[in-house]
Structures are given as C-alpha cells and as structure tokens.
Amino acid sequence: MKKYSYVGKSAKRIDTASKACGEVLFTADLTLPRMLVGKVLRSPHSHARIVSIDTSKAEKLPGVKAVVTGKDGFGEKWGVFRYTQDQAFMPTDKVRYVGEEVAAVAAVDEDTALAALDLIDVRYELLPPVYTIEEAMAEGAPLIHEDKPGNLNIHVNIDVGDVEKGFRDSYLIVEDEFSAPEDSYFQSEPYAVVAQFDNNGNLEIWMPNAGPHLKAKPLSNCLHMPLSKVRVRKIAIGGHFGGRSEINPADVVCAFLAKKAKLPVKIVYTREENSVCTRQGHGMKVKIKTGVDKYGKVLARDITSYLDGGAYSSTGPIAVSVPFLCMEQAYRMDNVRFNGYRIFTNKPIRGMIRIHGRAFGTGVDLQLDMIGEKLGIDPIEMRLRNARQPGDTTPTKSFVASCGLSETIKITAEHSHFMEKFNKLPPFHGIGIGVNSVQTGFPMGIRGGSQAFIKFTEDGTVTVISGVVDNGQGNDNMIVQITSEELGLPPEDIQLVTADTEVTPSDPGSYSMCETFVGGNAVRLAAIDAKEQLFGVAAPMLKADAKDLVAKDRKIMVKDHPEISISLGKAVRTALARGQSISGQGSYWPKVDPKREWVENPYGQLCEAFSFGATIAEVKVDPETGMVEVIEVWAAQDLGMALNPKVVEGQFEGGIAMGGQGGMLTEYHLWNKGRVLNPNQLEYKVPLAADMPKINCYIVETIDPNGPYGAKESGMSVSMSAAQAYCGAICNAIGVYIKEYPITPDKILKALEEKNKSDNNKKQKK
C-alpha cells in the first residue's frame, strides 16, 4: 500500500481543543445587536381543522415586535421531492399532529414572547385521528391528507428475478414478522435558528444543518426570494444522525419573524420541542419470507414493510427504500421482491436515522440465525455463504467495485473467538453477529456533486473553500488532511472557509454518507490543480521536469533529491511576480445513474461505492430481572481506507452506542393519543459513557478505486450491524428469538416465561 504523509494516520482533529474547552459557539450561543426572542405556538390536538386564529391581543402586548401565522407566508409547501410536497410550515387549513406549528411571535425577551403566545386565540374543530399503521389503513379511516386514499404516502416496489420459482426450488422456507417503534436522535445540541435581513433584503441565517445548500433552496422557495439572496452561514453543529437532513419549520418561521420585525430573531427549541418538532426515526413493521437451499444459500426473499411516517412526507421515499438497499447490498440473492409502504398517521413527522430500520436489518439477520439452526449451520458460515463479493451487481443493478464484507465477518469472528463460544457459553450467556452495508451517497440530481477552491497566499499557506459541512464527525479535519497530503503542508498552514452558501460552492452536504467520497475528492482535485501550477513555476527554477517534482515539508523538491528544492512560498511569490496567482479548482460528481428514482425507477447505479461491516456482541442476561449486561463488542468495517483511523474508531464507538446499546436495549418512544410521553432525556434512555462495554475496532481497507485514496463511507454500517449483533447475542443467551425491538427487560422475562411453559408442556407430554 502506498505510504502517505498525512492521510491514513491517526491525528488529533483540528477542532478537538476548542470543543473540549467549550470555546466553540453553536447557534444558541449567537447574539446579534437588538436581537429578539422567537417562540412558537403549537397545536394541542393531533387532528383538527383550524377555524380561526386571532393574534390581535398578542400584537398589542408591549415588547412584541412581530406575530406570524401561515397567512403571512406564500402558501408554499415543503417535501424532499416535487411529488411529496405536502407540508406547509405553518398550516392554515388544519393541524395533523400534536406540536405542529400554528403561530409564532418575536419579542424583546422570552417572558414577553411566552406571554404573547398565551394571548393568541386559536379555534379548532376536532377531527377523528389515526395513530397506528393499522388504524390509518383501515377501511373508512379518516384521511390525514384528503388526496391520499388509505393514508398511503409512498409505495416502493422492487421485483427482481423469479421469486416464486426461488421459493419452489427452496429446501427450507421461513416467514417471520418483526417490529420496532419510533426512535430519536437526541443530538447534544437542541435545534436553534438565528435569522436577520440586511438593508438590501438579503437573508442571513444560522442553524444546525447537514447541508447549507440543501437548506438555502427551500428557504428561497418559501420566502419567494432569489437563491442568491439567501445566505446559510456556517456554525458548529452538535450532532446530526439523519435528523438535520432537511429544512425545519423553525428555519422558515424565524426568517418570517425577522422579516416582519426588521430585526434579528433567535429561536431555541426546548429539549421537548427537539424530540417532537424535528424529524425522528420511523416505527416499522416488516414481514420477511426467505427460502434457502440445504446449504443455507438464499434462493428467494419476499419482504413487505410498513413505516409509520407521521403527518407529512419528509424524506419518505428514501426512508422506505434504504433499509432494503442496505440488505440487498450486504447479501447476495437472485430473486427478491420488496414492497415498502409509508403510511400517514397523526403523529410527529419521521425522517432519516442512522440505524435505518431496526426491525428490518435485525429481522434479516435473526432469520438467518433461525435458518442456520434448522440446517445445522453456524451464524458465521450462514453469513459467509451469502455475503456480497467485489465485482457483484446488486439486484437493483449497482456494480460493487470494492467489498471486504467477508473479511469483516472473519476478523470479528476470529478476535471474538465466536466459534469457540457459540452455544458453548454458560446459561444466559450468549454471543451474536450482525452484518450490514451502506451506500456512499445516492443520486441527488444537480446537488449531487461538490466543488472546491484552494488559493495560495504569498507566504505559502493556503485557504480551502468548500461546501462540505461538519456535523461533528470530523469533516473539517478530513479536508485539512487531504490538503496537507497533496500540498505537503502541515495542518496549521491551512485555513478553511466551508459550508457558507454565499462564499462556498455547491455541495450535497453531510447527507447520504458521501462527504468524504464526494467533497473529499473535490478538495483533492483542487489541491492537485494548484500543485500542478506550482510545479510549472518551480520546474525551471529547479532545472527539473515538473513530473519529477513532489511537494513535501512546505517545499517543492526533486523526487529522491530533497536537497534540490525551493519553498512553496518562494514558488508562489515567483508566480505572483510574473502576474500569475496560484489557485486550484476541483469538482467531483459521483458516477450514478441519473435516471434512477426512488419510486418510479428504483434500478440503476445507486452510488459509486458501498461500505460493509460486521459486529459481534457477547452478553449476559439476568433471568430474574431481564437486564442485559453487554460484556464486549467486536466491530469491523470495510471503509475503503481510513483517512484518520482514530476518528474512524470514534465513529465505530458512536455507532455501537446508538445502534446497539441504545437502539436494541433502551431507546423507544411511548405514546398516548398521538402525544409523546417521553420527550426528554429523563424518560427517553440514551446510553451514557458509563453504560458502554469494551469495544474492539477493526478497520478493513479495500482501497476503493474511486474514493479519495480509496476511502468510502465509514461508521454507518457499524451502527446497524451493532443492533443486529446485540439481538442475536441476547436471543442466543436466552434460547428464544425475540422479534419486537428494542429488547427491554419485560420482553425478556415474558419470553423466558413462555419458554418455560413450553418446555414444561413438552416434559409432561413425554
């Protein structure tokens, strides 16, 4: 493998010290002169017609500078796709979930703003609600959107091969149902927005977001402003996990308040608002039917999934499809049918989440364990016999250029001593494996590519200008490492201007797991462009051919003759003296099938690279309390190449915390008539550092042919495979397959009770 100076090496992130010392500013920390406090009035009803809204008393309250309702807007509706535009950010016809935005105020302080909300008189006509998938799909059910019969939001159908023949040829067929309720991101930073307009009517806005350019366009649409007059500014972001992927009503509401008040306005969500009024993960029910030959090879699979989408479409078409795509990427199969349905309910809006369907991935893997048990094949062999391989094409027609899935399975099995432990551990002590895959990006049309610029200053230092956004995962550091590698500069010589729509070029955002692959490639190409210009200047000075030059240690030197060199700064100044400034430009558009679409045409090249991961967990279960102790976890991922291994390990650990420890043991929402009963961190149990087990991380590098230095997505597949591994280990420990997630103590005790009854009945029959 080629040796590098900066990439491929564990390095302290450039933002480590400032974040550790609390010096970084987030949106809620911003203070602008004469800034007002914005507050939102929310619906107390899950389904009701808005008869009238009277804001006159609120407007007269001293200290109130602006009051807005849906009538202050232009009637625009939001949806990720043109065919799913169904959400008005403040509705004028009816409300569809508890917590929906109805009106908002901007006042001189928080107390005045809250008092003003109490003075707004909203009259509702209650409508019958539907709270579950079954209620929403029942014949004659109330319609949440009158133009959506059956409350059906999205239906994705994928049908490949001859599924029925595959079942006829199968040696064994199993069919099971799995389910999981909604889950939350619980970002460390609750949602906040600051907006202001300048004297020329330009909007300047800050908020936590995964893609500034993806925010700017819908803002310009909603505000009826040219895109060039909307500036989404960079600021530190305290977490994403899928929940910052699209525009939030607070963005639009805050902008309208600022426009009406003609003053800056800040809205900061409470923790409860952050749980109810931003996107959250879908609840899901899934039926999986699998046919295999006598060696455990999958011959046919038929999957039907139902997602509880809440009141509006959001990222519905993507959310329906991604769990299936992750599964088809991980496992080979020639005959597969998928029907995914997203259903509207009178609950808060669901969106993308890092685990991508606990019921789906865990169901597929647990069913492999069940099949293996019937066939006498161990879980490791079951997965190796069905694992995706490099050079394969997935059922939906994506070519897989690099794949180290089998290596991840083998390395975790070896280090965990899986085969020595499986079914040989003491009672209530088990081990399990999960396997998954994630796409590195997907078709995003004209916003699917990234562009970057690099400009040299006369002292030889550089500024990188890129649309890449850092949600906390280390993207800023990734840009610096790549620039350092190409230009031979230490990180302290590199300045960043990123994620600001006014000054940085287009970028897809930290969304769809593509920033390193797409944004990183653009930065690398920009650095190469600048470097080639410098080499052209330096070559005659060094009496060498430009192709024999290298950039290293702030110098341009002749390869293998470091004593023949000049400083980068001297080369830059020489160029300037000739009237030539040194600046590089790079852009990268992933090679995907532009005709691929989520609903109408789910076939074609989805992305250029796929990551693959395996996780093994070992657990103990207390049969008296149902409590689970996770003893140790082994996680491996094929991520192409680790640009910064220490950062990658952090992604692994975060993924195991979210998908395994939280996703499979503790995290779920409780409901009462469409109202979230556990919206804060006292009742919603997010794992703490003290809850985490020992984690062993293994990086598999397949060097993807298209990724920067071979890199592709990292961390996401571990989050999903961790949930699957935890489930497999618990089921192995108690000898019962549990199909409802998360696996809480009550479910374990119930499963053990039923198992004991069954065992006693069998003994009595004998």
Q: Give 650-668 pLDDT, tens digit per residue.
A: 999 999 999 999 999 999 9
Rounded distance between C-alpha atoms, residue 78 and residue 220, angstroms: 12
CA distances from 501 to 82, 234, 470, 537, 585 (A): 23, 9, 14, 33, 17
Q: What is the DSSP string of 294-314?
A: TT--EEEEEEEEEEEEESS-T
Its pTM stands at: 0.96
**Alpha carbon 320 to its chain's center:** 14
Q: For the segment 112-144, what is each residue's pLDDT rounded down to a tens digit?
A: 999 999 999 999 999 999 999 999 999 999 999
CA distances from 3 to 10, 492, 596 (A): 14, 22, 38
| 382-396, 443-457, 608-622: least confident range | 443-457
Rounded distance between C-alpha atoms, residue 678 and residue 685, angstroms: 9
Of 399 and 514, the one with more pLDDT: 399
**pLDDT of 514 higher than 70:** yes
Q: For the segment 593-643, what is each residue's pLDDT rounded down to a tens digit?
A: 999 999 999 999 999 999 999 999 999 999 999 999 999 999 999 999 999
Rounded distance between C-alpha atoms, residue 295 and residue 130, angstroms: 45
Residue 369's beta-bridge partner residues? none
Rounded distance between C-alpha atoms, residue 174 and residue 367, angstroms: 8
Rounded distance between C-alpha atoms, residue 16 and residue 680, angstroms: 28
Q: For the segment 148-204, what is each residue's pLDDT rounded down to a tens digit?
A: 999 999 999 999 999 999 999 999 999 999 999 999 999 999 999 999 999 999 999
| 249-253, 309-313, 682-686: least confident range | 682-686
**pLDDT of 745 higher than 70:** yes
Closest CA to 593 of 705, 708, 445: 445
Rounded distance between C-alpha atoms, residue 687 and residue 262, angstroms: 43
3-state secondary structure of 317: helix
Per-residue confidence (pLDDT) for residue 513, from 0 to 100: 87
Q: For the segment 703-720, what is each residue's pLDDT rounded down to a tens digit?
A: 999 999 999 999 888 999
Residue 597's beta-bridge partner residues? none
Q: What is the DSSP string of 401-425?
A: ----HHHHHHHHHHHHTHHHHTTTS
Rounded distance between C-alpha atoms, residue 635 and residue 416, angstroms: 10
Beta strands in 264-346 (DSSP E): 265-268, 283-292, 298-310, 336-344
Closest CA to 651 of 488, 516, 766, 504: 516
Per-residue confidence (pLDDT) for residue 408, from 0 to 100: 98
Per-residue confidence (pLDDT) for residue 1, from 0 to 100: 67
**pLDDT of 588 higher than 70:** yes
**pLDDT of 563 higher than 80:** yes
Rounded distance between C-alpha atoms, residue 98 and residue 80, angstroms: 22
Tokens describing residue 630 = 């996770």
Average pLDDT over residues 554-562: 95
**pLDDT of 355 higher than 90:** no
To which H or E segment does residue 568 belong?
Answer: helix 568-577
Where residue 218 falls among pLDDT bands split at 50, 70, 90? very high
Cα–Cα–Cα angle for 721, 313, 440, rounded to 5 degrees = 35
Residues 6+ apart with CB under 8 A from 514: 440, 441, 442, 508, 590, 607, 713
Q: For the segment 268-296, what is each residue's pLDDT rounded down to a tens digit?
A: 999 999 999 999 999 999 999 999 999 99
